[in-house]
Structure 1
Amino acid sequence: MKLIGLAGWSGAGKTTLLAKLIPCLARRGIGVSTLKHAHHRFDVDTPGKDSWVHREAGARQVLVSSGHRWALMTELRGAPEPELRELLGHLSPVDLVIVEGFKRTGHPKIEVHRAANGKPWLHPEDPAIRAVAGDVRPPSGLPWAHLDDVEAIADLALAHAVPIDAW
């Protein structure tokens, strides 16, 4: 499995880009999984459902399965948040894992930048950023693709992805 991240400030378009990038890579025959970091408390469960009742009762893990999908929810219950490397170990093998967020982790990343946000560039402070997908060229000369050119961004992702155990 190879790994590449997308890093950028909120509102830069990371999720929008991923929604276009995944099918683009799939058309090329590349199997993709994603790992998303949430900066706030989130929940994938619904109050009142059996799985929610199990978690609220104190279960550390609840696995929900159907004929269409399965999901494993793990309650940290005061334990520290797992590191990216540990989380990657929970994924089934695919060709490429795209990480959204974890911008302070040292895995190779593509910076997603939108000038209208008025936020500073991340790459001058982060040597793990290997390329930029943005609506303006970066001042650094890093490899760049316009946010609207999903094929070129897919090329950047594949060119800069590294085996998971190589970083």
Structure 2
Amino acid sequence: MRITLYTGMRLGEICNLRNEDIEVLNGIPCFHIRPHTVEIDGKIREWSPKTSAGTRIVPIHSKLLEKGILEEFRNSGPYFFSELPISNFGVRGANFELIFSKHKRRLNLPTQVTFHSFRHLVSTVLRNQDSHIRELWIDDLLGHEATHKSQGTTQYTSAIYLQNLQRVVEAITYPDDIANW
């Protein structure tokens, strides 16, 4: 939950993070969300983000680094969360929604809250910031195809500077009762 709260990443993206997808770029620790192949029970399976915009770099929020997220999970195997079970269809973390449902009851969250709700929360938090964060940067961080691009943006913007994405990630803040989940 913490990863999605501070990055807006999709559940499938988090479940399929490999240790090699954690990189330090220009001094900034990042998750690199990208297609890859995996062997499961002797079969080669492909995994890729939901959309082409889903292939992206996501800076790791300082709160995640402070909580020791890299040290906690990174050395557990080839995947960041290597303990997640794999379904017969090759889906990593297929039972995570069930586990999440039990956890949300312990947190007294409403039944209509889903894991994906946190992704929407991140978008809402960022779009309501009183700062100089551009919509294009938010879309890039979340892996959304931006539909509001101007012709100039579409023609001449090839990549968002990593430092700007880091500013976007660090703009994600919560009250202590949420931040400590």
Tell me the TM-score normalised to structure 1 length.
0.32
Instruction: Compare CA radii of gyration and give the structure with the larger one.
Output: 1
Q: Which has the higher contact order (CA 8 A, sep 6+)?
A: 1
Question: Which structure: greater helix fraction?
Answer: 2
Question: Which structure: greater strand fraction?
Answer: 1
